[in-house]
Amino acid sequence: MASIDNGSDLGIEADLFKAADKLRGNMEPSDYKHVALGLIFLKHISDGFEAKRAELLAEYPEGAEDPDEYLADNIFWVPQEARWSHMQASAKQPTIGKLIDEAMIAIEKVNPSLKGVLPKDYGRPALNAVMLGELIDLISGIALGEGKDKARDLLGRVYEYFLGQFAGSEGKRGGEFYTPRSVVRTMVETLEPYKGRVYDPCCGSGGMFVQSEKFVEAHGGRLGDIAIYGQESNYTTWRLCKMNLAVRGIDADIRWNSEGTFHKDELPDLRADVILANPPFNISDWGGERLREDGRWKYGIPPAGNANFAWLQHILHHLSPTGTAGVVLANGSMSSTQSGEGEMRRAMIEGEVVDCMIALPGQLFYSTQIPACLWFLAKDKSNGIARDRKLRDRRGEVLFIDARKLGFMVDRTRKEFSDADIARIADTYHAWRLGEGYADVPGFCKSASIEDIRSHGHVLTPGRYVGAEAAEEDETPFAERFSALQEQLEAQFAEAEELTATIRARLEIIANDL
């Protein structure tokens, strides 16, 4: 059986979340999220600071109170009144909320990169001081006695797990800040961002970046091999992203403005090597009527009533000459002909920028039960390098993968991919791009020609191309199977005749009684 990686194989994240969730009482998950995640973040940066301070006290005591010594190692300076030991000692005081707010303000004051990021409303009267104290006690036990690196990883995993659980609790609203981990892993493992510039124009809480860094480290690279850029229009979500990346020790340039990526592109000159994005599906109020003449629309003017093709073209605009992108979109993007979308899709296919299409199963997302798809784009299908290997010329072809039958149910409403599912998808794409060991598999994957796609009216739904799964050979001779089927059919005919006779008799009795 395939191993399943659901992000909680350390065994403590789920227990911690259950314990923390019990403490929230009547608070809404959307409010409590910031309370819990803010405290985990405070514990994380305080632990990192204390570990470095212990090193300095042993080797270079005069540097223990010098902020520059910490900044040199990408460690946040934590003022004395903001250190976790002070919070823990004060956990049972009725003023604990005010103390936490003061700690957050003090940390932001001496760490410019955190300015405006940390939650600072722990002192509000509606927040129960006893609950806060108990939450501090609970979080105090995380990573206790672990080494510096293991403690950071453990706190990072707890933070990530909590993000996912809060997204599940918030339903549709949760999906706006969190892309399910197995979807992100599929995109990352498929595109393999080993080094270079990685960009997400609607980055949510930063899951794409975390998984990209994990991928680099898992394949022998280092934090910093990739340069990370992002933009987010929701201020609260931008704060979550900044904290999420800081917990992981990931340096990134994440921009925010309320106008959004289309109307105020914060990184207009960026050309990224890999773009990973999960834009909100089918946005109808994106202000497209004000951008009719925009230079990003190389394949047609996106309709004012749906932003799907605006996202695709914005992403293509930001790709480097050999860049690749993975984009999550609603299934309608693969076949819609409304408002010129069919023409834009045709232009992208004929313009040789669509590399691969993947149909996903339903129930993967917190925000919607509607099945989605993955678009993989390439700025130049004739060129490119995956790690140190040259890709083949893929012009005139598009790979289709139908992954709708993959995945397993993790609870009553939601599905995830297993490690084996992710590997099957990614390995298929890699083999196709390299031209090594790829073969069409009926019902799963097909390398289709542009002529074939034209014959389907430039519709990109994988199910149209991959065909039916090969039926297993039945060793029973045909004559025997035919005879058995005939016997079964005759029995069903006889049963139908008997049922018809019974109904007629009942109707006759009713008619005689009238």
Helix (H, G, I), strand (E, B) or coil at 199: strand
Contacts of 431 (CB under 8 A, 6+ apart): 437, 438
Per-10-residue mean pLDDT of the chain, 514 residues long, equals 38 82 85 91 92 92 90 90 95 96 96 93 92 93 68 77 80 64 95 94 92 90 90 92 88 93 97 96 92 96 96 98 95 94 98 98 77 94 80 96 95 89 98 95 98 97 88 49 61 72 78 72
| Residue spans of alpha helices (H) in 351-477 | 419-434, 450-455, 463-466
C-beta separation of 214 from 187 below 8 A? no
Confirm whether pTM is higher than 0.85: no
Compute the distance between CA of residue 404 and CA of residue 400 in angstroms, rounded to an integer. 12
Reported as half-sphere exposure (CB side, CA atoms, 13 A), residue 417 has a value of 24
Which among 275, 279, 271, 383 has a CA at the least distance from the CA of 325? 275
Quick one: pLDDT at residue 471?
52
**What is residue 4's three-state secondary structure?**
coil
List the one residue out of 93, 74, 87, 4 whose CA is nearest residue 42: 87
For residue 1, the model assigns a pLDDT of 29
Buried b (16+ CB within 10 A) or exposed e, 349-377: beebbbbbbbbbbebbbbbeeeebbbbbb
Which residues fall within 8 angstroms of residue 237, CB to CB, at 6 or more apart?
A: 176, 177, 204, 205
Q: Whole-angstrom distance between the N-terminal and C-terminal Cα of the chain? A: 65
DSSP 271-289: -EEEEEE-PPTT-S-S-GG
Looking up tokens 């005591």, which residue turns up? 61
Cα–Cα distance, 420 to 418 (Å, whole number)? 5
pLDDT of residue 5: 37
Q: Are strands 372-378 and 319-330 parallel, antiparallel or unpaired?
A: antiparallel
Residues 318, 360: contact at Cβ < 8 Å?
Answer: no
Task: Of 228, 81, 214, give the one whose Cα is nearest residue 160.
Answer: 214
What was the pLDDT predicted at 7? 42
Give the burial class of 236: count Cβ atoms within 10 A of its Cβ; 0-12 exposed, 13-18 middle, 19 or more buried: middle
Task: Report the pLDDT value the prediction gives residue 165, as an integer from 0 to 100.
Answer: 84
- Rounded Cα distance between 296 and 201, Å, is 14
The C-alpha atoms of residue 175 and residue 330 are separated, in whole angstroms, by 14
Give the pLDDT score at 3.
33
Chain centroid to Cα 20, Å, comes to 24
Side-by-side strand order, sheet with 372-378: 252-256, 226-232, 196-200, 272-277, 319-330, 372-378, 354-359, 397-402, 445-449
> Three-state DSSP class for 323?
strand
Note the pLDDT of residue 8.
42
Whether 303 and 341 have beta carbons less than 8 Å apart is answered as yes
* Pick from 418, 425, 410, 423: nearest CA to 5: 418
Rounded CA separation 102/7 (Å) = 33
